[in-house]
Amino acid sequence: MRQYQTRSYGGYSKYKNNRVSTPYGEFDSGKEYNRFLVLYSKERSGKIKDLQRQVSFELVPAQKGPTRSERAVRYVADFVYVQDGKTVVEDVKGYKTPEYVIKRKLMLSVHGIEIKEV
């Protein structure tokens, strides 16, 4: 029995995921919500700490050129937490888009952070 409600916004989403509304807030997919429940349980038992959702990292700063400005490029991690004294950045993936692969490489290059994919 599901403990959340799926939300549809007129037809199918691009990658066939359904946003879910839960007592803990909105999640992009049921898979992401289920991962949150696992991590939340680990945090409550003391195995991890400082669990955060939807943490934004700047990959390329905003730029201003002679004719136009460019917005900053950002990566938003699904979860960030501390395990054994190390910060872990985690992303729940059903499908790896080309944009995500580039951002994953930029995270490693710019911040020295390797993303854990679930």
Enter the pTM of the model.
Answer: 0.85
User: DSSP of 30-96, one letter per residue?
Assistant: HHHHHHHHHHHHHHHHTSSEEEEEEEEEEEE--EE-SS-EEPPEEEEEEEEEEETTEEEEEE--SS-
Q: Is residue 102 part of a domain?
A: yes
How many domains does one find in the chain? 1
Q: Is residue 46 part of a domain?
A: yes
Q: Is residue 59 part of a domain?
A: yes
User: Over its length of 118 residues, how does the chain's per-residue pLDDT go in tens digits?
Assistant: 455 555 555 555 666 678 899 999 999 999 999 999 999 999 999 999 999 999 999 999 999 999 999 999 999 999 999 999 999 999 999 889 999 999 999 999 999 999 999 9
Between the alpha carbon of residue 114 and those of residues 41, 91, 111, 118, the distances in Å are 23, 11, 9, 13
Amino acid at 106: L
* Phi and psi at residue 34, to the nearest 5°: -65, -40
Give the structural domain span for 97: 13-117
CATH number of the domain that 83 lies in?
A: 3.40.1350
Say what the pLDDT of residue 94 is. 87
Q: Is residue 87 part of a domain?
A: yes
Burial class (CB in 10 A: 0-12, 13-18, 19+), 51: middle
Say what the pLDDT of residue 18 is. 83
Say what the pLDDT of residue 33 is. 96
Q: Is residue 1 part of a domain?
A: no
Burial class (CB in 10 A: 0-12, 13-18, 19+), 91: buried
Q: Is residue 3 part of a domain?
A: no
Paired with 4 in beta bridges are none
Q: Is residue 2 part of a domain?
A: no
